[in-house]
Structure 1
Amino acid sequence: MKYESIKTVILTILIIISIVLTWQLWTYQPHHKTLEKLTDIVEENPASNTKDIPSLVKPMKILFHKDGQHFATFEESEINKLMKYIRTWEVNDVKNISSSIRDFTSFIKKDGHAEIIFADKIPLQIFKSLLNINDKEHSLVNFDRIIINVNDEERGEGKIYFISYENQIVYEAKVNSERINSFKRNYYLLASKYPEQVEYKLTETSSFFLPKEETKMTHLVYYTDIIEVDHFVENLFTEPNNVKKDVLQSSEVHTDGTRMLKVFNDQKYIQFVNPMLINNSQGETTDLIQTSIDFVNEHGGWTGNYQLFSWNKNNQKVVFRLHVENYPVFNRNGLTEIDQIWGKNEIMNYEHPLISLRFTPEKRETELPGGDAVMKEIESIPDFQANLVENITIGYELIANQKSSKVVSLQPIWCYKYDGNWIKVEIKESDNLGGDTDGLE
C-alpha cells in the first residue's frame, strides 16, 4: 500500500508539472523590446501564394479636379475601397472619341473629372478584370488611366473615359448615372480632405501634379526572410533531380544542361535563363501580362505586395515591383523587382529577389518636400530635357543594413522616370547645387 501511495503521489506531481509547463508554453510572451511593436506580419512561407489581376494591377493614385483646384491620394485603403466599389459598375458603349477632343490636356484636368492613374498602360482586356466592361472590339487598346466625369449626365447615363496620356487617345463609355452620383457624393465632393496638388507644365502636352505642401511619410525598418533557392530549383526545372550545382566564389549555378539558374549570394537574387530561346515572338499584349502572372502563380512566387509596374510588348518584358503603403519600392540591386522576359511561349529570362519583408520593429515619421523643391532639382540636372520626363512620384528606397544582413530600411524618396530610367531626386541644402542623377535601377 505504501509503495502504491508513493507512485500515486509521484504521478500526481508529474501531472501538475506537465500542466504548469503547458500553460507557460501557451501563455509565453517574449520580452524583447524590438518584438513589442511587431506589425505587417506576412505569410509563414513567403513563396507559396497566388494572386489575381485585381491584386496585381492597382492605381498609383487618384487625382481629383474640383473648383479650379486639384487634390490627390496615394492611400492604399482609399484606393482599394474605390476599386472595390467601381468593380460593380457595368460599362457599356465603348467608343473612340479622340478626334473630337480639341485640347487634350485641358480635357484631362477639367472640373468634374477624377483620374484613376496607373503606373503603365494597361490593355482594355486587363481592365475587364477590374470593371464589368461589355466590349468585344477594343480589347488590345492600351490605357494608363480612367477618368470619371461627375458632371455630365444624359438620359440616366453618366460617362467615364479610358485615356492613353502619351498617345492622347480618349475612349468614352457609359455607366448608370446612379453609380456616378454615388461616386460624386462619397468621393468627389470630399476630395478637399486630400493633399492639394499644383500643376507643373513641362511641355505643351505634358503636365505633372505634385503636392503643394510637404508630405508626411514613414521611415521603416524591416526584418527580412531568406527564400530558399531549392524552391526555385524544384519549380523552375522540369526535372529537378537532374539539376547539377556548381559553387563559385560569390555565386552558385544550377543547370540541367539546357536551362540555368544562377544565385547571386551577395546581391540576394536569382536569375533563371533559357539560352536556347530566341525572343522573336510578339504575341498578344494581353497574353503577355496574363502569362507573366500565371507563371509566377505556378510556383507561388509572390513574396510580398508586388504590383504590375511596367511592360513592353517589343522586348516581351514584364516588371512587377514591390509596393509598401501603395508606394513603389526601388533598389539598385533589383531586390524589389520580379522581372520576366519571354521567348516563344516560354520564359527566357527570370529574375527574382531572395528576400521578403517579414515585419517592421521600427517606424519613424519624416517629411518629403513639396512640388516646388522637387521640380527645381529635376530641372537643374545637366542637359535637362523636359520631354524626357515620363513620371514623377513618391516612393521608397530599400537600403541594406551594414550591421545585419537580415535588416533593411525603407527610406521615403521622390523619384522620377527620365528617358526610361528611374532616378532618385536628391534635395540639396544649397541652391547652388544642381539635382543629382542617382539611378535606382
Structure 2
Amino acid sequence: MSRERLKTIVLSILVIMSILLTHQIWLYSPNEVLTSKALSNKSHTLEIRENIISPKRIILGFGGGIQSGFSTILSHNEMEEVWQYSRRVLEDYFILEPEITEISAEDYTEYMGLRHVELEFGDNISSVLVSSIFNNIDSKIVRNIREINKILIPSINKGSIFIVGKDNNTFEIKLKDYVEDKSINDFMIEYEANGFIKYYRLFSFVDNYTLMPPNFYTQLPKLTVESVLDVEKDQVLQHQTEIFFDRNLDFVRIIKETNGAVVFLYGYGEKTLRISPTGRLEYNEEISNESSTNVIAALDTAIDFIDSHGVIPKTAYLAEAKQIKKGNSSGYYFGFNYFIDGYPVAISSKNMKYPIEIEVFGNCISSYKSFVRTPMLLPNITRLEPIRPPHKVIESNIDIFEIDTVKDGNLLEEMNKNNEILRRINSIQMVYFDTMEEKRRQIVVPAWQIKVNNQVYYFDSYKGQLLYKEAFN
C-alpha cells in the first residue's frame, strides 16, 4: 500500500469519527438532559396534583327517599375504587359541551333520595382544579361554575349529573350524547350485599339532612403514631437547614428556645425555620411584590416545594384553597389533610387548621407549616365497649351546644332550643384526633367531629366526652 493511500484512509477514518462524536454530543447535550429532567419533574408534579385533587368524602346513597332512605360514608380504601368509576363517568361532562341549568336546593335534595354517589370536595375548590384532572382547563363547567363543593352522580349514568357550587348554588349538567355507565351501580349492588354501617338523616324532622349512623358497629382502635420529622437527630436538623437554605449555612444563626424548639435565622431574618420538639416544622420567608393569578400554577409551585422540602402522604388530599393578600402581593393558600387507617386526621392546634399548610406568591413560598404523622409498628389499642353513635353524643352534651348557641347571640325559647341546635348542625364525621403533645408514641383516638354553625367539636367516640373545640370560618 502506498504512503499516499494510507494517509487518505487515516484521514477518512478521522473524519468519520469526528462526525460520529459530534452527533453523539448533539444527542446528549446538557440542554437535552435538562429538558428531559424538567419533563420528568413536571410529570411527577402532575401525578401528585391528580392524586390530591380528590374528594375528601364519598357517600353512597341507596335510594328509598330523603326521609327514610339510607346511605353510607366510605373509608379511604373504598373511596379509591369509587373515585375511579366516578372519574370515568365525569370525563365527558368536563370535556364536551353539556347543557348547564341552575336548579333549586329542594330539587337537589330530591335527587339525594335516589340511588347515587356524592363526591364532596374540600373548601373553596376551584372548578378549574377539578377540570384539570381531565386535561381541560377551559371546560364549559369551568366557564359557568366557579367552585365545586359536591358532585352528585346517579348510580346509572343517563346523561345528567348535579353540582353544588359556591354559596350552595346548585346546577344540573346534562349531556345529549352520553354513554350509559353502570359501573357505579354494579359496585353498589355488590357493596350492598355485604355488611356495612348505614347512615340516616335522623334530624330530617327539623329540615336537617346531615347523615349519621344510628349504630356504629365497627371497632376502631386507638393508634400509636410518631412524627415524620425526627428532631432528636442532629443530622436530621442539619439536613433540613441545608434543604431550606440551599446549603448556604454561613449566614444562618441558630436559636434554641427554652421549650426545646430550634429556630434557624437566615441573614437578617428574611428567612426563618422553626422546628418544635414534637416535630412540627414552620418556615417563613419575606416576599416583595410577588403575585399569583393562576391557581393551577400556584398549586404546582406548592406541590414542588412540599415534595422537595417535606413529605406529601400517599393519602393526602386538597382540603382547602383560597386567594390571599399580603401587602401589595396576591397569592394562594392551600391546606392539605390526609387519611390514617381509613379516616381523616384532625389536629388540636390554634394556629394550624390542617397538617400541611402553604402560602404561594408567584414562584415564592411565604409560609409553610407541616406536622405529619405515621403509624408506629406497635399493637393497636382495641376497646371492648361499642362506639357511641353521634346522636347519643349530641344528646348527652346538649348543654355544651346550648351554651355556645347562646354565646352566638341567639337566645332561644326553652321549648325550641334543642330543635334549633339540631337544625344548626352542619356535618358529622369520624376522624382520628391528634392532640399533638408527643413526638413519638402519641395516641390518636377515633372521635366524632361535629360542626355546629361556626364551631367544631371533637368528642371521644367511645366515652362521648368533649376532647376539643374551636371556631372555624
Scaled by the length of structure 1, the TM-score of the pair is 0.72
Which residue of structure 1 lines up, in the alignment, with residue 299 of structure 2? Answer: 289
Asked if residue 268 in structure 1 is aligned to residue 279 in structure 2, the reply is yes
The residue that corresponds to 1:56 in the other structure is 52
Structure 2 equivalent of residue 141 of structure 1: 146
Asked if structure 1 preserves the Cα contact closer than 8 Å seen for 2:348 and 2:436, the reply is no
How far the C-alpha of 1:363 sits from its partner, in A, is 1.7
Summarize the alignment of residues 391-430 of structure 1 with structure 2, pairs less than 5 Å apart.
391-399=427-435, 405-418=439-452, 422-425=456-459
Conserved in 1, the CA contact under 8 Å of 2:62 and 2:114?
yes
Q: Is 1:369 the equivalent of 2:388? A: yes
Q: 1:66 to 1:130 in 2, by over 3 A?
A: farther
CA distance in structure 1 between the aligned counterparts of 2:120 and 2:197, rounded to whole angstroms: 16
Match of 1:317 in 2: 333
Asked whether the equivalents of residues 432 and 447 of structure 2 are also in contact (C-alpha less than 8 Å), the reply is yes
Letter in 2 for 1:438: K
CA distance in 1, matches of 2:176, 2:442: 46
1:97 and 2:101 correspond: yes
TM-superposed CA distance for 1:264, in Å, is 3.8
Aligned to 1:40: none
Tell me how far apart the structure 2 counterparts of residues 173 and 290 of structure 1 sit (CA, whole Å).
Answer: 31
- Give the Cα–Cα distance (whole angstroms) in 2 for the partners of residues 197 and 175 of structure 1: 34
Report the structure, 1 or 2, having the larger strand content.
Answer: 1
Contact kept in structure 2, 1:282 and 1:313, CA below 8 Å: no
Q: 1 CA distance for matches of 2:387 and 2:205?
A: 25
- Number of aligned residue pairs: 381
Over 3 Å counting, the alpha-carbon distance change for 1:150 and 1:83 in structure 2 is: closer
Partners of 1:374 and 1:303 in 2: CA distance:
31
Selected match of 2:469 from 434, 438, 441: 438
Secondary structure of 1:364's aligned partner: coil
Could you report, residue by residue, the CA deviation over 1:217-261 in whole angstroms, capped at 9, with x for unpaired residues?
222223554343334423333563344132223322222225333
Cα separation, 1, equivalents of 2:155 and 2:314: 36
Question: Following the alignment from structure 2 to structure 1, what is the Cα–Cα distance between the partners of residues 172 and 301?
Answer: 26
- Cα deviation, 1:88-141, whole Å, max 9, x if unaligned, reads 34323344311x436245234131332122243422222235457695344372
Q: Quote how far apart the aligned CAs of 1:332 are.
A: 1.9
What is the CA deviation profile of residues 266-307 of structure 1, one whole-angstrom value per residue up to 9, with x for unaligned ones?
34212111234579x573444443432233134353256432
The one of 400, 404, 417 equivalent to 1:383 is: 404
The unaligned stretches of length 5 or more in structure 2 are 1-43, 231-235, 326-331, 409-420
Alignment of 1:17-416 (within 5 A): 52-59=48-55, 60-68=57-65, 69-89=69-89, 90-91=91-92, 92-98=96-102, 100-101=103-104, 103-131=106-134, 136-139=139-142, 141-150=146-155, 153=158, 158-164=159-165, 166-174=167-175, 178-187=179-188, 190-191=191-192, 193=194, 194-201=196-203, 207-216=209-218, 217-227=220-230, 228-238=236-246, 240-249=248-257, 250-257=260-267, 258-277=269-288, 281=291, 283-302=293-312, 305-314=315-324, 316-333=332-349, 337-353=355-371, 356-357=373-374, 359-366=376-383, 367-376=386-395, 379-380=398-399, 381=401, 382-384=403-405, 389-399=425-435, 405-416=439-450
What is the rounded CA distance, in whole Å, between the counterparts of 1:292 and 1:378 in structure 2? 40
- Residue 152 to residue 323, structure 1, CA distance change in 2 (3 Å): closer
Shift in alpha-carbon separation, 1:132–1:289, aligned structure 2, 3 A: closer
Cα contact 2:60–2:188 (8 A) shared by 1: no
Give the Cα separation in 1 of the matches to 2:127 and 2:392: 37
Of structures 1 and 2, the one scoring higher in RCO (CA 8 A, sep 6+) is 1
> 1:310 is paired with a residue of what secondary structure?
strand
Q: Is the 8 A contact 2:334 2:357 kept in 1?
A: yes
Partners in 1 of 2:310 and 2:279 — Cα distance?
18
After superposition, the C-alpha distances for 1:128-181 in whole angstroms (9 at most, x for unaligned) are: 35457695344372112221123673xxxx322222274222241439765532
RMSD: 3.7
Task: Give the AA of the match of 1:150.
Answer: S
Cα shift readout 1:30-49 (whole Å, capped 9, x = no counterpart): xxxxxxxxxxxxxxxxxxx9
* 1:393 alignment partner AA: Q
Q: CA deviation at 1:337?
A: 0.5
Conservation of the 8 A alpha-carbon contact between 1:198 and 1:212:
yes
Distance of 2:397 and 2:176 partners within structure 1: 40
Q: Structure 1 CA distance, aligned partners of 2:467 and 2:49? A: 36
Once the two structures are aligned, what percentage of the paired residues are identical? Answer: 14
- Asked if the contact 1:377/1:425 (under 8 Å) is kept, the reply is no
Change (3 A) 1:215 1:165: farther
2:322–2:333 Cα contact (<8 Å) kept? yes
Instruction: Return the index of the structure with the highest Cα Rg.
Output: 2
SS of equivalent residue, structure 2 residue 376: strand
8 A Cα contact 1:215 1:370, kept in partner: no
> Equivalent residue for 1:19?
none
Q: For residues 210 and 358 of structure 1, do their structure 2 counterparts lie closer, same or farther at Cα, with a shift above 3 Å needed?
A: closer
Residues 341 and 349, structure 1, Cα contact 8 Å, conserved in 2: yes
Larger mean CA deviation between 244-253 and 185-194 belongs to 185-194
Quick check: 2:157–2:181 contact (8 Å CA) kept in 1?
no
CA shift for structure 1 position 330: 1.9
Q: Confirm or deny: 8 A CA contact 1:426 1:435 kept in the other structure.
A: yes
Task: Give the drift of 1:319.
Answer: 1.1
Q: 1:342 to 1:151 in 2, by over 3 A?
A: closer
